[in-house]
């Protein structure tokens, strides 16, 4: 396998609703709200499901890599329930090898309810379920050893069992990459993330805000100086300012694409990572890898959802 992803296995459940459904359930349009199982079931009980898709940040990247014809696999924790089956099927339909043995769990499969109002806006309610309870026992050793690179999801990192799962995977792997995922994640786990970036990872993906936050930098030049000292691949997306990759003293930049008809930013970072990693595992130059990442993210933001086809 070229790349093995390890991340939150969350199934996206897409439903169309009227504006009144949001106000009746005290939901703020275009936001993401974390809900418990009871609230999730209550919301879903009155809705007709349009589609169910395997989601989660790294899973989106892995599907993107598969669509670029790379042999890939994924580990993410689901329950042996109806949505867990749908999750697995949704990945295997995209030619992703699913390397997790489902078990009967007390907690259901993680789910993100995506409510689409008539104006095409998306309002999300996420129930993390069993997804965040990953442990070292869930890491398939041969899957890790047989991959050129593993790609870890910052969202999944937490003290205790998830940390043990990450450490086991990194110790067994030839090369480790990780996405910092979210500024909230970085602020919450700053000490751990800094240790991972300095001492354990080979490739790091971040956006500008996450990178600044990680080292409490006053400006972007400080991020570049810090990255040069690391002797790793540090890949940073900067929105309209494009993207940049830093490897020792080499700094390569790539412009963003202009005049795009942006309809939905879901999956922009996920698909950028897919494009860059495609370049990396197929021995393209740093510039070509950035270009591939930019091309993938430009395509995805011009359509609804995090799937290119």
Q: pLDDT tens digits, residue range 59-108? A: 999 999 999 999 999 999 999 999 999 999 999 999 999 999 999 999 99
Q: How far is CA 16 from CA 113, 120, 304, in A?
A: 10, 9, 13
What is the per-residue pLDDT for 234? 98
Q: What is the mean pLDDT of residues 236-256?
A: 95
| pLDDT band (50, 70, 90) for residue 119 | confident
State residue 50 phi and psi, 5-degree precision. -80, -50
| pLDDT band (50, 70, 90) for residue 262 | confident
pLDDT tens readout for residues 210-231: 999 999 999 999 999 999 999 9
Interatomic CA distance for residues 97 and 14, integer angstroms: 24
What is the per-residue pLDDT for 259? 81
What is the per-residue pLDDT for 45? 93
Residues 6+ positions from 76 with CB-CB distance below 8 Å: 5, 6, 7, 8, 9, 56, 58, 59, 87, 100, 131, 134
- Segment of 120-124, 242-246, 257-261 carrying the highest mean pLDDT: 242-246
pLDDT at residue 17 greater than cutoff 90: yes
pTM attached to this predicted model: 0.90
| pLDDT band (50, 70, 90) for residue 184 | confident
What is the per-residue pLDDT for 51? 83
What is the per-residue pLDDT for 31? 80
Mean pLDDT taken over the chain: 93
Q: Greatest CA separation found in the chain? A: 57
What is the per-residue pLDDT for 182? 84
Sign for the pseudo-dihedral over CA of 269, 273, 279, 282:
negative
What is the per-residue pLDDT for 301? 83
- Segment of 42-46, 180-184, 271-275 carrying the highest mean pLDDT: 271-275
What is the per-residue pLDDT for 14? 86
pLDDT tens readout for residues 30-65: 888 889 999 999 999 989 988 888 999 999 999 999
pLDDT tens readout for residues 134-163: 999 999 999 999 999 999 999 899 888 999
Q: What is the mean pLDDT of residues 185-195?
A: 94
What is the per-residue pLDDT for 138? 96
**Under a CB-based contact definition with an 8 Å cutoff, are residues 260 and 296 in contact?**
no
């Amino acid at each position: 396998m070229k790349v093995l992803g390890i991340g939150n296995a969350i199934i996206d459940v897409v439903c169309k609703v009227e504006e009144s459904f949001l106000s009746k359930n005290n939901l703020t349009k275009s936001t993401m709200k974390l809900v418990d199982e009871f609230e999730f079931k209550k919301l879903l009980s009155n809705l007709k499901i349009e589609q169910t898709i395997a989601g989660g940040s790294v899973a989106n990247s892995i599907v993107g890599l598969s669509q670029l014809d790379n042999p890939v696999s994924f580990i993410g924790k689901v329950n042996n329930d109806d949505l867990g089956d749908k999750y697995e099927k949704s990945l295997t339909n995209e030619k992703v090898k699913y390397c997790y043995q489902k078990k009967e769990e007390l907690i259901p499969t993680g789910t993100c309810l995506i409510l689409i109002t008539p104006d095409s806006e998306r309002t999300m309610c996420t129930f993390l379920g069993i997804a965040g309870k990953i442990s070292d026992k869930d890491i398939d050793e041969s899957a890790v050893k047989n991959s050129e690179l593993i790609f870890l999801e910052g969202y999944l990192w937490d003290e205790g069992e998830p940390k043990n799962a990450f450490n086991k995977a990194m110790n067994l792997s030839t090369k480790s990459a990780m996405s910092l995922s979210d500024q909230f994640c970085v602020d919450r786990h700053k000490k751990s993330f800094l240790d991972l970036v300095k001492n354990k990872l080979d490739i790091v993906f971040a956006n500008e805000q996450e990178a600044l936050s990680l080292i409490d930098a006053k400006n972007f030049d400080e991020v570049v100086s810090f990255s040069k000292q690391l002797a790793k691949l540090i890949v940073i997306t900067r929105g309209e300012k494009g993207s940049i990759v830093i490897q020792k003293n080499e700094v390569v930049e790539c412009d963003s694409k202009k005049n795009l008809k942006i309809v939905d930013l879901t999956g922009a970072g996920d698909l950028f990572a897919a494009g860059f990693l495609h370049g990396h595992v197929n021995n393209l130059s740093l510039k070509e890898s950035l270009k591939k990442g930019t091309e993938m993210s430009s395509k995805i933001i011009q359509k609804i959802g995090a799937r290119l086809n």
